[in-house]
Amino acid sequence: MRVVQIQFAPWDKTYSFDPVNFPLVKGDSVIVKTELGTEIGKVVGFMEIEAKDIKGAAVVSDEKDSDSNSEKTVEEKIKPVVRKASSSDFEKLAGQGEKSEAMAYCKKMVEKHQLDMKLVDVYFSFDGSKVTFAFIADGRVDFRELVKDLTRHFNRTVRLYQIGIRDEAKLRGDYGPCGQSLCCKRFLNDLASITSEMAESQQVVHRGSDRISGMCGRLMCCLAFEQKGYEELAKNMPPLGAKVNVDGKKGVVVGHHILKQSVNVQFPGDKGEGSVIVEVDLNRNKK
């Protein structure tokens, strides 16, 4: 079945809902009912899901069903979209003033309990029954006493949601070294894992961590965008240490230039002299 991916806050994960027959597109705001109440969320994507994949889908339901392999179970677990949101729905949302007051009080309580955490944002549910504070911390934080104080003050369900530093950059926004607004702010919904192996395969490790890190301090998402292209180009490269014959001279591959599609080949020197390294274009015979 086809499901729509809904996100309630820019730092929250996405949840799957049945779009029913609504003509939804990315960016639409909709009203949905969850196990925790009525919410307003934004459409961030669509996907096809099968019954066997239901365990991997983020559905807003805590119910368990032993018959998880049936299409019926999928439809029962994935709740339907109630309707598209109207302008009057947005008028019911908490205003900036209410959010600022909530953040100020929560920060005060964080200081009171001397918790090592940084508050980033606050989200009020559409039906007003729940308030969620997003925060950043280096490790686990025991905020049980904090939640008690906040629950008494706001007189509603309080949830504390820990996010990563990359999520904060996505929320706040900034400009990258390319001069454009951050990709995570503009269009990236899922922040893929960026590894040091990507930097190594793209031969940019030598630039230093500062030059290959984004505004969040983590490795740039650009590395993930370009990784597949580098992998395809690398297939044409002879492995390091390979013995090659260039214009009748035998040498050994000692370096790669993936984008240039060339390699460094080491040749023995004439008359016992030191070796010579020459850059060889792999496409030179194709011209």
On average, the pLDDT of the chain sits at 84
Residue 108's pLDDT band, with cuts at 50, 70 and 90, is: very high
Considering the chain, what percentage of its residues have pLDDT values greater than 90? 43
Q: Note the residue count of the chain.
A: 287
Per residue in 42-88, pLDDT tens?
998 898 887 655 554 555 544 433 333 434 444 457 899 999 999 99
pLDDT at 287 over 80: no
**What residues contact 136, with CB distance under 8 A and at least 6 apart?**
117, 118, 120, 162, 163, 164, 165, 168
pLDDT at 149 over 80: yes
pLDDT of res. 131? 94
pLDDT of res. 247? 87
Residue 285's pLDDT band, with cuts at 50, 70 and 90, is: low
Residue 147's pLDDT band, with cuts at 50, 70 and 90, is: very high
Considering the chain, what percentage of its residues have pLDDT values greater than 70? 88
State how far the Cα of 265 lies from the Cα of 244, in Å rounded to an integer. 8
pLDDT at 20 over 50: yes
Per residue in 163-186, pLDDT tens?
888 877 777 777 888 888 888 877
**What residues contact 177, with CB distance under 8 A and at least 6 apart?**
none
pLDDT at 196 over 50: yes
Burial of 35 (0-12, 13-18, 19+ CB in 10 A): exposed
135's tokens: 């925060």
pLDDT of res. 74? 44
pLDDT of res. 224? 85
- Lowest-confidence segment of 28-42, 133-147, 237-251, 272-286 by average pLDDT: 272-286
Residue 122's pLDDT band, with cuts at 50, 70 and 90, is: very high
C-beta of residue 274 within 8 angstroms of C-beta of residue 255: no
pLDDT of res. 87? 93
